[in-house]
Amino acid sequence: MPETPLVAAWSAVAPGYLDYWIPRFRPYLDEALEAFDERLRRPGELVVPGCGPGEEVVALARRHPDRRLVALDPSGPMLELLRARLAREGLAERVRVLQSPAEATSAHVQGAAGLFSSFTLQLLDRPIEALADWARTLCPGGVASILFWPRQDPESPWGRLRASIEAEGGAWGVDWEAACRAELARIDMAHTGDAILRHPMRHASAQEAWDRLVDACSLQATARRLGSEAMARCRERWLAGRAEGPLEHHPVARLWSFTR
Ligand X SMILES: C[S@@+](CC[C@H](N)C(=O)[O-])C[C@H]1O[C@@H](n2cnc3c(N)ncnc32)[C@H](O)[C@@H]1O
Q: Choose the stretch contacting ligand X; rule: CB under 6 A; options: 1-9, 206-214, 227-235, 249-257.
A: 1-9
**Torsion sign over Cα 211, 215, 218, 219:** positive
- How many angstroms separate the Cα of 217 from the Cα of each of 89, 123, 235? 25, 12, 15
Binding status of residue 86 toward ligand X by CB under 6 A: no
Q: Give residue 22's Cα distance to chain centre.
A: 10
Binding status of residue 101 toward ligand X by CB under 6 A: yes
Among 105, 118, 137, 220, binds ligand X (CB under 6 A): 118
Which residues, including other chains, have CB under 8 Å from residue 97's CB and lie 6 or more apart?
Answer: 71, 72, 79, 82, 83, 86
Burial of 138 (0-12, 13-18, 19+ CB in 10 A): buried
Q: In this complex, which beta carbon is closest to ligand X, that of residue 75 or of residue 106?
A: 75
Q: Choose the stretch contacting ligand X; rule: CB under 6 A; options: 95-103, 179-187, 227-235, 250-258.
A: 95-103
Q: In this complex, which beta carbon is closest to ligand X, that of residue 53 or of residue 142?
A: 53
Binding mask 18-57 toward ligand X (x if CB under 6 A, else -) reads ----x--x------------------------xxx--xx-
Among 13, 47, 71, 78, binds ligand X (CB under 6 A): 78
Binding status of residue 61 toward ligand X by CB under 6 A: no
Binding status of residue 148 toward ligand X by CB under 6 A: no
C-alpha closest to that of 251 among 224, 217, 222: 217
Task: Tell me the C-alpha distance between 184 and 178, whole Å.
Answer: 10
Under 8 Å between Cβ of 71 and 97: yes
In angstroms, what is the minimal distance from the CB of 82 to ligand X? Answer: 9
Q: In this complex, which beta carbon is closest to ligand X, that of residue 150 or of residue 167?
A: 150
In angstroms, what is the minimal distance from the CB of 43 to ligand X? Answer: 24
Binding status of residue 6 toward ligand X by CB under 6 A: yes
In angstroms, what is the minimal distance from the CB of 86 to ligand X? Answer: 14
Q: In this complex, which beta carbon is closest to ligand X, that of residue 74 or of residue 251?
A: 74
Task: Tell me the C-alpha distance between 212 and 219, whole Å.
Answer: 9
In angstroms, what is the minimal distance from the CB of 100 to ligand X? Answer: 8
Task: Tell me the C-alpha distance between 66 and 55, whole Å.
Answer: 19
Binding status of residue 74 toward ligand X by CB under 6 A: yes
Binding status of residue 128 toward ligand X by CB under 6 A: no
Burial of 150 (0-12, 13-18, 19+ CB in 10 A): middle
Q: In this complex, which beta carbon is closest to ligand X, that of residue 78 or of residue 214?
A: 78
Classified as helix, coil or strand, 129 is helix
C-alpha closest to that of 221 among 169, 178, 177: 169
Chain residues binding ligand X by CB under 6 A are: 4, 6-7, 10, 22, 25, 50-52, 55-56, 73-75, 78, 101-103, 118-120, 123-124
